[in-house]
Chains A and B, each alone.
Chain A
Amino acid sequence: MSLRTLGLSFGHGGRPLLAGIDLTVEKGESVALVGVNGSGKSTLLRLLSGVLPPGSGTVELDGRPLARMSRRQIARRIAVMHQALPPVPGLTVRQLVHQGRYPGQGPLGMLRAPGHDPATEEALALTGLTGLADRVLDTLSGGERQRARLALALAQEADILFLDEPTAHLDIRHQLEVLELVRELRAARGLTVVTVLHELDHAARFTDRIVALHRGAVHADGPPSAVLTPDLLSEVFGVAGRVVIDEVRHHPRCIPDAPLPTGGPTRSSAPSGG
């Protein structure tokens, strides 16, 4: 067992965003979190990484509540790839990635120059950023920025990796590149990966298990072939559609046809996004 939530709830000003989430993520699993905007995906990810304290319920890491662990202890186990880069003027790729060493090294260990840290260099090499290491972040393209965010998370050398919409704003080729890279790393390092995804086909192809959130609760949970159904498309995503099996890769593929006029999900105005 790796990561477990018990009766996890969270709300803003009396309005619940998540209610009674019981979820267990086993070691080595790759789980996709899907749902419409405002369904609580990103909030759940923040609760799971301990950045956000739950309204009620607990998150346990190997049986130990996150609330009783220090932020550094958590960050040594859980790395998060966020949607945005930190807005620090003049920061280079290597300096950013080196920040991922903080949980392991602490403030004094970080005083050594970033150029001599093997874990930083490895994270740069794995993401193909070695040649761009001395570039300032602002000068990177979208795909390169995405890889820099991933490299930062990898430098933490945590065994659990959270990815918050890792393919957002990328073209198809870069989307596949990032997801392939994560899959290879997961195999090589034995990582547990939880990914917030909007693309259901990506979820079906790159993960073993899909958890669909709907109005702050788990609506469906299981392997892609069991979760991705026409009913899910209409009940969770508010679209009429078909689900076919990809003939080459043998995973389900969703074909949305039309938005449903009624009965669809009300678009929530959650401040924290998806």
Chain B
Amino acid sequence: MTRVLVLLLVVLTALLHLGAGGAGPGDLLAVADGRPATLDERILWELGLPRLVTAALAGAALGVAGHLLQTSLRNQLAAPELTAVNPGAVLGVLAATTFGLVSPDSALGGLGAALLGGVLGGAVTWLLSAGGGPGRAVIAGLLGSALMGGLVTLLLAYQPGRFGNVLRWLVGSVEGRVWDHLVIAVWWIPLWLCVAWAATAVTTLLQGGDQHAASLGLAPRRARLAVLGIAVALIACAASLAGAIAFVGLVVPHAARRLTGGPGGHVPAAALLGAVALVGADAAAQVLTRLIAGTELGHRLGLPAGVITALAGAAVLVAIVYREKNP
């Protein structure tokens, strides 16, 4: 029963997203048939579907990465954007393209640059929080994120003319991604999602504390590094696709853990919910973009999905905090 409902939710969100992009049922059938002929059908195949897949992959990656960070660091506030990993990955992509090291459209180059930047951001947080407890990790993550953000600003100052192009990375957007951008992500993200699921027992033991993990046969430091490595692999790929999407990695894992029974369901639930959240946010972004399309603003920009996740995520977080204060 639950599975049917979940499937229904996923399909509905996907259709909503495609519909928001302007695709009709006829276009869908034509694409499913493998013969996109008319302009609308080709737009669906070449822009609409890649955009949907980008949002689903990035959302799933961020949701699961947030779950891995929160459990292995035992910190409810650990999230891709609050541990400097996501900001670092964005910095990596921007630095690599600004200095002409990789082409902005290279899937491999973008992922490589994002991985380097993500590891850098994570390492800064790790060093700043060394020897401290969970509270210190939060502060270290915020400091690291601020540092990465500062370096991005430095890059922008270096080449102010690129500001318009850079905005999509800073806010987070899944617009304008085509199949060429996705050649690595379509196997990279599912692969690491599977690894994350296979490591469920490891994250569950780490969640119980280092002493708990150690006496049950897990070397906590090494295991934590491995889990963080999985998280960085997911976050970097999501960032190379969609930039600094905020709040999905913070809020989705809480909901996923609350909605599923045992630890075995946490990773699949975080992946599904993350995908649904970002696809839904991007559908809303597309609808809003159409609504403001008539105004002068509408000619200048499409509303990025990152704005919607930031607004909706903040609202959810406030609701959670409020409920914890007033049970």
* B6 contacts partner chain A, Cβ-Cβ < 8 Å: no
Complex interface: chain B residues within 8 A of A86 (CB): 207-209, 212
**A contacts, CB < 8 Å to B:** 49, 51, 70-76, 79-80, 82, 86-88, 90, 92, 95, 99-100, 102-103, 106-108, 110-111, 113-114, 156
Decide: A75 and B209 in contact? CB cutoff 8 A. no
Given A108-B198, A111-B264, A114-B262, A82-B215 contact (CB < 8 Å):
yes
Chain B residue at minimal CB-CB distance from A72:
B217
CA A77 to CA B195, docked complex, whole Å: 28
Residue interface bits B243-266, CB-to-A below 8 A is 1, else 0:
000000000000001100011100
For the complex, give the distance between the alpha carbons of A108 and B208 in Å: 19
Are B217's CB and A82's CB within 8 A? no
User: Is B200 in the interface zone, CB < 8 Å from A?
Assistant: yes
Contact A88 B207, beta carbon cutoff 8 Å: yes
Top 9 A-B pairs, shortest CB-CB distance = A86-B208, A75-B217, A110-B201, A103-B217, A72-B217, A86-B212, A80-B215, A107-B201, A51-B214
Whether, in the assembled complex, B147 has its beta carbon less than 8 Å from a beta carbon of chain A, the answer is: no
Contacts of B204 in A (CB 8 A): 88, 99
Task: Scan B178-220; emit 1 where CB is below 8 A from any A CB, else 0.
Answer: 0000000000000000000111111011011101101111110
Residues in B neighbouring A103, C-beta threshold 8 A? 216-217
In angstroms, Cα B159 to Cα A174, docked, is 71
Q: Which residue of A lies closest to B212 (CB)?
A: A86
State which of B199, B207, B208, B209 has its C-beta within 8 Å of the C-beta of A107.
B199
Our pick among B205, B257, B258 for the contact of A102 (Cβ within 8 Å) is B205
Hey, which chain A residues are within 8 Å of B205, CB to CB? 99, 102
A70→B200 CA distance, assembly (Å): 20
How many chain B residues touch A (CB < 8 A): the figure is 24
Chain A's closest residue to B71 (CB) is: A88
Q: How far is the CB of B9 from chain A (nearest CB, A)?
A: 22
Is A100 within 8 A of B216, CB to CB? yes
A sample of 18 more A-B contacts (CB under 8 A), given A51-B211, A90-B257, is A49-B215, A51-B214, A70-B219, A71-B218, A71-B219, A72-B217, A75-B215, A76-B217, A82-B212, A82-B215, A86-B209, A88-B204, A92-B262, A95-B263, A102-B201, A108-B198, A111-B197, A156-B216
Choose from B198, B208, B216, B217 the contact partner of A111 (Cβ within 8 Å): B198
B200 and A74 within 8 A (CB): no
> Which of A82, A92, A102 is within 8 Å of B218, CB to CB?
A102
* B→A interface (CB under 8 Å): 197-202, 204-205, 207-209, 211-212, 214-219, 257-258, 262-264
Residue in B198, B199, B202, B216 whose CB lies within 8 Å of A75: B216
Q: How far is the CB of B202 from chain A (nearest CB, A)?
A: 5
Distance from B206 Cβ to chain A, minimum over Cβ atoms (Å)? 10
Instruction: Return 30 A-B CB contacts under 8 Å, by A number.
Output: A49-B215, A51-B214, A51-B215, A70-B219, A71-B217, A72-B217, A73-B217, A75-B215, A75-B216, A75-B217, A76-B217, A79-B215, A82-B212, A82-B215, A86-B209, A86-B212, A88-B204, A90-B257, A95-B263, A99-B204, A99-B216, A102-B201, A102-B205, A103-B216, A103-B217, A107-B199, A110-B200, A110-B201, A111-B264, A113-B262
Could you tell me the distance in whole angstroms from the C-beta of A273 to the nearest C-beta in chain B? 12
Docked Cα-Cα span, A74 to B212, in Å, equals 14
B256 to chain A, nearest CB (A): 12
The docked-state distance in angstroms from the alpha carbon of A49 to that of B217 is 11
Cα A49 to Cα B212 with chains together (Å)? 12
A113 touches B264 (CB 8 A): yes
Name the one of A88, A102, A113 contacting B216, with C-beta atoms under 8 angstroms: A102
Q: How far is the CA of A102 from the CA of B208 in the complex (A)?
A: 13
CB distance from B213 to the nearest CB of A (A): 9
Which of A74, A92, A95, A114 makes the CB contact (< 8 A) with B217? A74
Q: Which residue of B lies closest to A76 (CB)?
A: B217
**Closest residue of A by beta carbon distance from B76:** A89
The CA of A174 and the CA of B287, in the complex, are separated in Å by 63
For B222, the closest partner residue in chain A by CB is A71
Point out the residue from A72, A82, A107, A156 that lies within 8 Å of B198, measured CB to CB.
Answer: A107
Q: Bound state CA distance, A73 and B214, in angstroms?
A: 12
